[in-house]
Amino acid sequence: MTTFTLVSTAWGHFAFVARDGKLAATYLPASRTAALAAVRRQWGPLDENPAALPQFQKQVRAYFAGESVEFDVDLDLAKATPFQRRVMEHCRRIAPGRTKSYGELARAAGRPGAARAVGSVMSHNRVPIVVPCHRVVRSDGSLGGFSSPGGLRDKERLLALENPSALPVRKR
């Protein structure tokens, strides 16, 4: 069964979709209306389940309150390729407040030279903050891209939340 949940955080309403007890998608905090619209745009009408993944909900609240959190939740990666899974696994290991380049992540996933492919995996990441794609930057330390509605502003805010001194210099 697929449901959605809204979690009230210090940043707004964080939305997530759970499928059969696993996390299928997350949406960065927004207004309640915007969070609901984002879920419905990608998933259509779903039932709300305020009790879904209660430990994850606690972790989300703590994270957006500025606490260091290691997300402990099973992901629904049924449609991911083996390479995508490896990239996401290695991305999950990047510590809060730290960054890695797309190239470093490609090497860790066993595909040196596949930085662009890593960028593609990150741009299609359905579970931001859990697979912390905001911690992946260009080899020169600049931010690169971020495909959230707030774009690079969201990436900067997430990095600053975790560690303001880790924020790379933004280059255009």
Catalytic residues: 133
Secondary structure, 3-state, 110-138: CCCCCHHHHHHHHHCCCCCCCCCHHHEEC
CA dist., res. 145 & res. 132, Å (int)? 13
User: Do residues 153 and 170 lie in contact, with contact meaning Cβ atoms separated by under 8 Å?
Assistant: no
What is the C-alpha to C-alpha distance for residues 119 and 78, in angstroms, rounded to an integer?
20
